């Protein structure tokens, strides 16, 4: 990577790790992730993606974080599905990749809405029915436990990305940031992430709080610096810190923005501006997700925001990222 591209990636990474929502945890998580990983984290993730995913390869995404876990099996939040859609589109542009989203039925609507908002078509079909380069994403709805080995052998992904998806703690339970147990809202899709390495599948995780899949490499930091990290209060005897590690971990104040940072690095590395969606396109995805009924994970209202970052501030971050990329890469912005 040239010095110019490194500076651009560092600028984007610094931006998406500002404590814009004032939760007070992202600095500790980001500092630790940079110490333990290869920086800039967003650039490393992008380069590893390009190395791992062949033209026409399959990429799997795990997302969906429940709010209102006491109502049915919960309601999806806006952080996660939008970022996953951004990366699915970026890898479609960069690698003609086929994206697969295994998810529970109560998360499927929010995920499909985010996919439509980013300009792709969600389909419920087998991977064999999709051709590389088709502007579609496969949504595989599960209604019970999944056999991880069988699933990985069936879909054969070369990359598995977890973005804002709850991760098991040392006690075996899943928790919200407030320490509430949310395991009843989830199927065992984390098992795909855990089994991926034994199937030669690269794992990349994007998180913002420490209780997500792939944040296990920062467990000590989460237990020390994140409220409820070591003691959740739900009665399990542990904390919210997730246990499973990722091959590559990216932190961001919003997981969605971490995905945008990776997409920006993909655009920089490939020299193709269209790999990064325009701010207008990503905001359309966020609005579509909220329009379906997904909620802001901080105040639980069904509005165009994520984790307390409102639409104006969110769009401002996207515009700044786009401006950095535009200085280095020519080409059109998709709208």
What is d(CA 233, CA 171) in angstroms, rounded to the nearest whole number?
Answer: 12
pLDDT of amino acid 2:
86
Angle at which helices 311-328 and 3-16 cross, to 10°: 180
Q: Find all residues with CB under 8 Å of 98, minimum gap 6, and list them.
A: 56, 57, 58, 59, 127, 130, 132, 134, 138
Instruction: Classify residue 91: in a domain, yes or no.
Output: yes
Instruction: Classify residue 107: in a domain, yes or no.
Output: yes
The parent domain of residue 94 ranges over: 3-328
Pairing status of strand 66-67 against strand 75-76: antiparallel
pLDDT of amino acid 315:
98
> What is the arithmetic mean of pLDDT over 131-140?
97
Q: What Cα–Cα distance (Å) separates residue 252 from each residue in 16, 130, 208, 326?
A: 5, 32, 5, 22
Instruction: Classify residue 192: in a domain, yes or no.
Output: yes
CATH number of the domain within which 83 lies: 3.90.1640.20
Q: Which of 304, 61, 90, 31 is nearest to 163 (CA)?
A: 61
Q: Find all residues with CB under 8 Å of 316, minimum gap 6, and list them.
A: none
Instruction: Classify residue 261: in a domain, yes or no.
Output: yes
Over the stretch 147-193, which tens digit does the pLDDT of each residue have? 999 999 999 999 999 999 999 999 999 999 999 999 999 999 999 99
pLDDT range class, residue 212, cuts 50, 70, 90: very high
pLDDT of amino acid 334:
59
pLDDT of amino acid 127:
86
pTM across the whole model: 0.97
pLDDT > 70 in the chain, percent: 99
> What is the arithmetic mean of pLDDT over 288-306?
97
Over the stretch 258-293, which tens digit does the pLDDT of each residue have? 999 999 999 999 999 999 999 999 999 999 999 999
Q: Find all residues with CB under 8 Å of 255, minimum gap 6, and list them.
A: 79, 80, 83, 163, 164, 206, 207, 208, 212
Over the stretch 219-249, which tens digit does the pLDDT of each residue have? 999 999 999 999 999 999 999 999 999 999 9
Instruction: Classify residue 69: in a domain, yes or no.
Output: yes
User: Looking at the predicted structure, is the pLDDT value of residue 332 above 60?
Assistant: no
Enumerate the H helices of 200-298 as residue ranges.
219-225, 255-270, 279-292
pLDDT of amino acid 160:
98
Instruction: Classify residue 334: in a domain, yes or no.
Output: no
Q: Which of 310, 318, 227 is nearest to 281 (CA)?
A: 318
Averaged pLDDT of the chain: 96
Per the listing, tokens 């993606």 go with 49
Instruction: Classify residue 232: in a domain, yes or no.
Output: yes
> What is the arithmetic mean of pLDDT over 209-217?
98
Give me the number of domains the chain comprises.
Answer: 1
Instruction: Classify residue 174: in a domain, yes or no.
Output: yes
């Amino acid at each position: 990577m040239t010095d110019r591209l490194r500076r651009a990636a560092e600028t984007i990474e610094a931006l998406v790790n500002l404590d814009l929502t004032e939760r007070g945890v992202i600095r500790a998580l980001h500092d630790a992730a940079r110490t333990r990983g290869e920086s800039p984290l967003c650039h490393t993730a992008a380069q590893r993606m390009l190395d791992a995913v062949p033209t026409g390869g399959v990429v799997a995404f795990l997302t969906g974080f429940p709010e209102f876990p006491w109502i049915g099996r919960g309601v999806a939040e806006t952080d996660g599905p939008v970022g996953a859609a951004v990366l699915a589109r970026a890898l479609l542009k960069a690698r003609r990749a086929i994206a697969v989203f295994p998810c529970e039925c109560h998360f499927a609507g929010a995920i499909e809405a985010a996919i439509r908002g980013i300009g792709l078509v969600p389909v419920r079909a087998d991977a064999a029915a999709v051709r590389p380069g088709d502007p579609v994403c496969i949504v595989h709805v599960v209604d019970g436990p999944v056999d991880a080995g069988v699933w990985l052998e069936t879909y054969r992904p070369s990359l598995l990305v977890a973005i804002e998806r709850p991760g098991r703690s040392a006690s075996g339970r899943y928790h919200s940031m407030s320490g509430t147990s949310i395991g009843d809202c989830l199927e065992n899709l984390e098992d795909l992430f855990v089994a991926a390495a034994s199937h030669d599948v690269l794992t990349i995780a994007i998180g913002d709080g420490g209780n997500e899949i792939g944040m296990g490499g920062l467990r000590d930091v989460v237990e020390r610096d994140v409220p409820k990290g070591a003691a959740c209060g739900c009665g399990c005897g542990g904390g919210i810190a997730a246990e499973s590690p990722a091959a590559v971990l990216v932190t961001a104040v919003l997981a969605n923005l971490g995905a945008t940072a990776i997409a920006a690095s993909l655009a920089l590395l490939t020299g193709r501006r269209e790999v990064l969606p325009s701010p207008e396109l990503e905001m359309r995805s966020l609005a579509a997700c909220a329009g379906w009924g997904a909620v802001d994970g901080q105040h639980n209202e069904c509005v165009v925001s994520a984790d307390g970052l409102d639409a104006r501030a969110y769009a401002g971050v996207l515009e700044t990222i786009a401006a950095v990329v535009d200085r280095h890469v020519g080409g059109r912005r998709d709208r």
